[in-house]
Structure formats: structure tokens, C-alpha cells
Amino acid sequence: MKRKQVIPAIIAAFFILFPLIVKSDYYQHLVILALMWVVIGGSWNLLAGYTGQVSFGHAVFFGIGAYTAGILTTKVGISAWWGMAFGGFTGALVGLLIGWICFRLRGPYFALATIAAGEIFRLIATNWESLTDGMVGILIIQSFRSKLPYYYLALALAVASIWVFDLVMKSKLGFYFVSIREDQDAAESLGINATLYKNISLLISSFFTGMAGAFYMNYMAFIDPEVVFSLHYISIMAILVGIIGGVATIWGPAVGAFIMIGIQETFRSALFGLAPKWVSQSHVLVFGLLVIFVILFMANGVVGDWPKIKRLFVRNR
Amino acid sequence: MSFFEVKEISKRFGGLMAVGGVSFQVERGEIFGLIGPNGSGKTTIFNLINQYFPLTAGDIFFKDESIKGLKTYKICHLGIGRTFQVVKPLKRMTVLENVVASAFCRVNTFKEAQNLALEMLDFCNLLPDKDKFASSLPIAGRKRLEITRALATKPELLLLDETAAGLNTAELDEAIELIQRIRARGVTIIIVEHIMKVIMTISDRIHAINYGETIAEGTPEEVANDKEVIKAYLGEESYA
Amino acid sequence: MDVFLQTLVAGVLIGGIYGLIGIGMTLIMGVMGIINLAHGQLMMVAMYVTFVLHAYLKIDPYLSLLVAMPALFLLGIFLQKTLLNPLMEVDAVLPENQVLMTVGMGMVLAEIARFIFSSDYKSVVTSYTGSAFFLGNISFSVPMIIAFGFAVLLTVGLFLFLLKTDLGRSIRATAQDKEAATLMGVNSGRITVITFGIGSALVAAAGSLLMPIFYLFPDIGGPFTLKAFVITILGGMGSTVGAIFGGVTLGIAESLGATYIGMGYKEMVGYVIFLLVLIFLPGGLKKLTKV
């Protein structure tokens, strides 16, 4: 069984040593973002892929976490790092609120309600200027000049999230989540309090997403409502990460995060400077096309449809 | 006091009285049959016991305590399990995972749940299929899975809803044998059935309903010879 | 009092047009069970068509209805057939694939528009833009009145179509109960495709009518899609009459919100109503009016 242990070891070593080997700020930044998306995508996957509650409004938790960290600095005067601790909790609190409102709804209606919730919070953040400074956003001073601490923090968060999600899915919680996804009525007859467990799933999901938001505040040092509560750039991105990697898999979101950041940057940089300028405007278009393509042909993502993908290559030999 | 009692229960859907004033008692260790033509309200009664639908009127007692108004999952915890007429397998999970999920009703660790699940699968002769996806099982297997899942919640009272529908002769015999073994373990059973052979063979007592109302109750022989019952079933498969 | 009346008038007028947007969506949702998150983007496409016709051919926006509607009808049918129909067969873990597909569609449409027209605000200025007439102290914006008038005409036309024609009856039947309709000989596959086309055509009409009133930019679609949902849920899914009530209700609510709370919160009114209705009135206003 040596082969099975060598590859993960190599990957682990790569990530641990990465910022020491690759000194470029630009690439470090990309990997940090990707690691952050591993957390967000994994959180979404827990709620949507495993528990079947497809949220289109995950930006809410991200934004709440980010603003928690930011407001703690601008209004309370304490370091935004406290936001990492509190951002998870405020994210989870909002999660409970959203759950209370939205879980009465099933399927697509739940999805729509989460969109509405996301937009409502964005509008509140934009208009409640005394608290959030509205469209001006929040600007703080970065704690570290070098990217290294942020990198390892992001890596730690990503690893922690994957580890927690894996533990959860192997436990009673995990079985209950999937049962609810497959058939909520049957699940109830088997003694599963669906409402309770949906909320637990949401709590975990929103907690981690909130922490990711708080991390973002600390790392980027600037946020505004359009960025952190964005339907397209956060909520839908989370869904894409989940879908492309593979819903209802543990490693899917990790794979998806790196693919999505890779694609996003490839197009945003106009194929790293090799293509004409207008290509850099096209990454949202590529995202849209990707959604269509993946749903039509690869609905279970890279990890989920891996057997299918492998077969494609075998046949071509 | 009786083990399980249904007292004057009614269910109204808008203008339609699906169940009207039905009462019966079930003794511990019995196999109690519920028969009636299509649409007579049998499955509705189960849905009322399970609190899947709220009662319009009447009350239901389990071990002398009213269970009216309790949530469905609570009813399961109290010891009442059920299967569904239109089977509801958890499709993208394996057979074993299906039963493990329901075993968690009574235990908390994965190890314990798996052991309980394996025990139940063995009892119901589904062990060879344990790693297959629930969606790949044929209808007989799915019905058996329904029962296995319900058993894993360690019920004292088991509601079986048309577990024999769609089975061929050999499968029917297996089903009957399984139900008798379940009773031998000490589980009380209320069985709703359409297929006379099954219900007449295994029931201790039978309650017949038509149009949501009681038309007869008694031993299988008494009920089979009851005039109202024969009238209701005229033209249907008769007990040979 | 005048302010209140003015607010009410503005609300009703815009509500009539909202109704058009909502009817398209409620038909699509009711008949096909498809949640079309690209609805607003379809309207955007129609608005660009209108803009182009006006900028290059000097065609009046109200006349471009005649071009935009058929064009979007065809686009709708195309999208339904190529992208949405195949989804009926794909089996994946996520049940919401079809919703996501429409999100993808919407994104692609918006980006293509941005590519061709850039993100600049475009508008159509006609001889009557900005003109209004007064009844007492209440001003009635002329473009709004004309748009409202057309909206009413189209709505009535749609009603006649649904009530009197065979195709219309088939659509209503499918909306009420797809299986039953199929059993009675309705070709539900064809109906589905046609309904998506009609829904697109209606929202296209709304787009042309709104062109003289709103600025146009590629991202204009999103908020309108959400409005369409609010209206659909308010009015009850599948109910065309409900969509009209829903549209007018939303129009008035937004108008009141803008006047009495503040411009920024105007959009939020819609979302809040949406959530409230989803939670407390799953059947929509239809439940209250028994239409």
C-alpha cells in the first residue's frame, strides 16, 4: 500500500513548503485565495451536497464574517484578528436566523429564499452607513507585510475544515444529513429530526464560511458590500467550486477551488499576458459557460465523475 | 390497558372525509391486520398514527399515553416504526448505509450502528446485498430494505404498509415468513394489506374498513365471511 | 395627501409593467416547474434589441415590440430545447441543476451583451421621454402611461389566447396538472417549449416598454429577475391574474418604500415581501382572492 501513502505525502509536503519555494507574491496570493475557497466551497458542500439544502446565498455568512472583523476594528478598536474567532460565531448566528426563516421551504424555494436573504444583507450593509460606512467600505491596516503568515493561516483553515467535514460525515450527523437529502419524509419516520439536523449542518457551514470572511478582511485589508456580499462573486462562486470539484465528496471542493481560481486567473490575466487584452474581461463569461458545460456533461464534478473522465482517456489510447 | 389504541380517529381533507370515526385496539404481540378496498383509507390511518398528517378528530394511545400531535420523529423514538407503501429507499446510499442511518436512532457511535445494522440485515436475509446501492435493488429487495430499516430503530410496534404488493409467489412466501419471525422477536405488528393470502394467513385479528369507516372486526374467518366485507370486495381477488 | 396619491399612481403604472414580467415567469414556473433565473437577462436582451433598432434604424421603441417579441420567443425556444430539456434526463446529486443552468445562461447572456455594448449606460431618448401631463397636482409620466397601456393590451391579449384558443387551453391544463394533461392528449414536451417561448416574448415586451424609462446596462437583468419571482410568489405560481395583482402590489410597495423610507431601501422592500410571502403565504395572494 505504499503508493497510496506516497502521493498524499508529496501533496502535503508541497503545500507546507510552497511559500518557501515559490517566492512570488502573485502566485502566493492565488494559492491563498484558493485555500480560502476550499473552506467556503467545503462549507457550501456540507449544506448543499451532503444535506441537500442548496444555498444560493452563502455570501451572507462570508460578508457577516468579514464585516464582523472589520467593524471590530473600526468601531470597537480591537484587532481584526478577533474577527477570526467572532466571525465564525456571527456567521453561525446569522445561519440560525436564515435557517429559521428558510428551512420551512423546500427545494428551489429554499434556494430562492437564500438569494433574497443574501441580497437583503447586502442592501443593509450598503445602507446602514453608521455601522458599515456603506459603499465606502472598511479599510484596515494589514498586520503583516509578508504573505507567509496569511498563507499558513489559510492552509490551517483549509485543512481544519476538510478534517472537520470528514469527521462529521463519518458520524451520526453525516448519515442523518444524507438521509435528509435523499428523502426527508422517510428520514423523519426513521426518527430523524430533520429541522434540527438541517440547522446543525447550516451552523457548521456558516461558521466556517464566516471565518473565511473574517480571514478575508484581515488578509485583503479592504472590503465593501459589493465584494463580500456579492451574489455572483461569492455565492455563485461557492456553488461553482462545489459543483466543479464534485458535490458530496470530501475532496471535491478542494479540487474545485484550485480549478476555479486557476480558470479565473487564467482569463483575468488574459492567458497570463499571452492573449489580447479583451480576454481579461471574459472570465465571468467563461464561468457562465462552465456552469452550462458542467451541468450538462459533468454534473458530479471532477471528483464525482472521475471514473467517467478516466474512461474518456483510456478510450483515446 | 391496551398496548395500542386508536380512538374515534377522523381525517378530513377539505370536503372529503378520508377516515371517519375509526376505533380499534391492538394487544401486545399481536399481528393485527387492516384491510379494505383501494382508497378506503388504510394508508391514511397509518399516516395519522405516524403523525404524518394531523388528526382532525379522535386520539391515539400508545402504552396508555396519547401520541396525538407529536412530531413524526418522536413517534419513532417512542417505539413505533413504519414502512411506506411506495417504498422510500435512500437511493444514493448503499443498503448497509440505509440501515446504519436508521440504527442511529438507538445508538450514537458508528461502530454500534454498524453492528446493529448488520444484525438486522442478517435477520432479514439482506446481508449479501449490503454493499449494493439501494437504487439497484429490485422491488422485493426494496420492500425488504424498508422493513430492515424500520427494524433497526428497535420498534415495539411496527406498521407495515402493503409490504407484499408487487411480489411474486415465492417472494410472498418469504415475506410472510419474515413477518412471522419479526413477531417471534416480540414486535407487535399492524399490517395493511391488499393481498388476501398474506393477511389472512398471518393475522391474529383483522379490522376491515371501507370509505374510511369500520365495516367489520374479528378473526380472519369471521371477517372473510362477513357480509359487508364480501360486498365491499365483490369482484376482487377472493380468499381461496 | 398629494404625495401619497402620486406615489400610488407611480406604483400602479410601474406595477402594470411588472405584471408583464411576472406573467411570463409564472407561466414558465407553473407549466414547467422551471425556475428561470435568467428571466431578467432575457429582458435585457430585448432591451438591447430595442436600443439597436432605435439607435440605427430610428424605430420607435414601442414599435420594436414587434421585433423584440418574436426574437425573444425564438431565443427562448432555442434555450429551452438545447439547454433545459436535456436536464430532464441527467441524474445528479443536486436537484437544483436546472436552476443553476439558468444562472449560467443568464451570466453568458449578460457577458455577451457587455462584450458587444460595454458596460456603459445606454438610453433611448424619444420626443416624449420625460414629458408628463397633470391631473390636479398629480403628474402622469407619458412614457409610463403608454407602457402601462401596452401592458394592459398585451395582458388582455394573453388572456384571450389562454382562454379561447386550443393551444392556450393546453397550456393552462399543463400548468394545472402536467400528468393529467398528458393523459388527455396534450404534447407536454411541445407545450413546455412553447411556454418558455411565450414567457420570453412577454418579458421582451416589458423590456421594450421599459426602454424609454430606464437606463440600460448589462447587469440590469438581475434585480428584475428577483422582482419577477416576488410577483410570481405573491400572485401564486401559475396564476396569470395573480401575477397582475402581484405586479401592482410590488409596484405600489416599492413606490411607498422609496417615498417614505428612502431610495436605497426601495429594492429591499421587494426582497422582504418575498421572504414574508414565502413564509406566511405559500399559496400567494391567490389564496386570499380565490381567483
Q: Which of A48, A243, A287 is the closest to C107 by Cβ?
A: A287
Contact B19, B212 (CB under 8 A): yes
B151 pLDDT band, cuts 50/70/90, is very high
Domain, as residue range, for A115: 25-315
Q: What is the span of the domain harbouring residue B49?
A: 4-84+157-233
Domain-embedded: residue B110: no
| Residue in the structure block whose three cell numbers are 429564499 | A113
Domain membership flag for residue B140:
no
Tally of CB atoms within 10 A around A230: 18
- The B16-26 sheet, strands edge to edge: B16-26, B4-13, B57-62, B65-66
Residue that has been written with the C-alpha cell 435477520 in this structure: B123
- Distance separating alpha carbons of residues A51 and A181, to the nearest angstrom: 5
Q: Do C226 and A115 touch (CB under 8 A)?
A: yes
Cell of A72: 471590530
Q: Does A119 lie at the interface with C, CB-CB under 8 angstroms?
A: yes
Phi-psi region for residue C284, left (φ > 0), alpha (ψ -120 to 50) or beta?
A: left
Query: pLDDT of B190-238, one tens digit each?
Result: 998 877 778 888 889 988 888 888 888 888 888 888 887 777 776 455 5
Cα of A50 to nearest chain B Cα, Å:
11
What spatial distance separates the first Cα and last Cα of chain C, rounded to whole Å? 32
Whole-number Å distance between alpha carbons of B89 and A176: 14
Q: At what angle do helices C221-235 and C263-280 cross, to 10 degrees?
A: 40
CB contact under 8 A, A119 and C108: no
pLDDT in tens, chain A (317 residues): 566 778 778 888 888 888 888 888 888 899 999 999 999 999 999 999 899 888 989 999 999 999 998 888 888 878 777 888 888 999 999 999 998 888 877 777 788 888 888 888 988 888 888 787 888 888 888 878 888 889 999 999 999 999 999 999 999 999 999 999 888 888 988 989 999 999 999 999 999 999 999 999 999 989 989 889 888 889 989 998 998 888 888 899 999 999 999 988 888 877 766 667 667 777 788 888 888 888 888 777 777 777 776 776 665 54
- The partner residue sitting opposite B105, judged by closest CB among A178, A185, A191, is A191
Count of positions (residues) in chain A: 317
Q: Which amino acid is at A172?
A: K
Burial (CB count <10 Å: 0-12, 13-18, 19+), residue A163: exposed
ipTM comes to 0.85
Residue among A248, A289, A291 minimizing CB distance to C103: A291
- Number of domains making up chain A: 1
Q: Give B105 to chain A, closest Cα distance, Å.
A: 6
Please report, for the domain that includes residue A56, its CATH number.
1.10.3470
Chain centroid to CA A156: 15
> Hey, what's the cell of A201?
449542518
Give the residue among C48, C54, C57 at the shortest CA–CA distance from C119. Answer: C48
Amino acid letter, residue A188: E
Whether B237 and B196 have beta carbons less than 8 Å apart is answered as yes
Residue A16 placed within a domain? no
Instruction: Please check whether residue A82 lies inside any domain of the structure.
Output: yes
- For residue B164, what is the domain's CATH number? 3.40.50.300
Note whether residue A225 is domain-resident. yes
Domain C2-289: give its CATH architecture. Answer: Orthogonal Bundle (1.10)
Show the cell assigned to B155.
420498534
CB-nearest to B97 from A175, A190, A248 is: A175
C-alpha cell at A282: 471574459
Residue in C closest to A108 by C-alpha: C96
Beta strands in chain A (DSSP E): 138-139, 222-223
Give domain status of residue B224, yes or no.
Answer: yes
Residues 181-220 of A with CB under 8 A from B: 182-183, 185-194
The grid coordinates listed for C161 are 389566447
CB contact under 8 A, A186 and B113: no
Are B101 and A188 within 8 A, CB to CB? no
| Residue from the list C92, C99, C101 with its beta carbon closest to the beta carbon of A111 | C99
**Domain total in chain B:** 1
Q: Which of C51, C26, C67 is nearest to C175 (CA)?
A: C26
B70-99 per-position pLDDT tens digit: 888 998 999 999 888 888 888 888 899 999
In our burial notation (b when 16+ CB lie closer than 10 A, e otherwise), range B183-211 reads: beeebbbbbbbbbbbbbbbbbebbbbbbe
Chain A hits for C116, CB-CB cut-off 8 Å, are none
Average of per-residue pLDDT across C220-233: 84
Q: State the smallest CA–CA distance between residue A313 and chain C in angstroms.
A: 22
Question: In chain A, which among 126-155 make CB contacts under 8 A with chain B?
Answer: none
Grid cell of B217 as nine digits: 372486526
Alpha-carbon span C264 to A239, nearest angstrom: 28
Quick one: cell of C254?
416599492
Establish if A35 belongs to a structural domain: yes
Q: Looking at chain A from residue 214 to 273, which residues have their Cβ under 8 Å from any Cβ of chain C?
A: 231-232, 236, 239, 243, 247-248
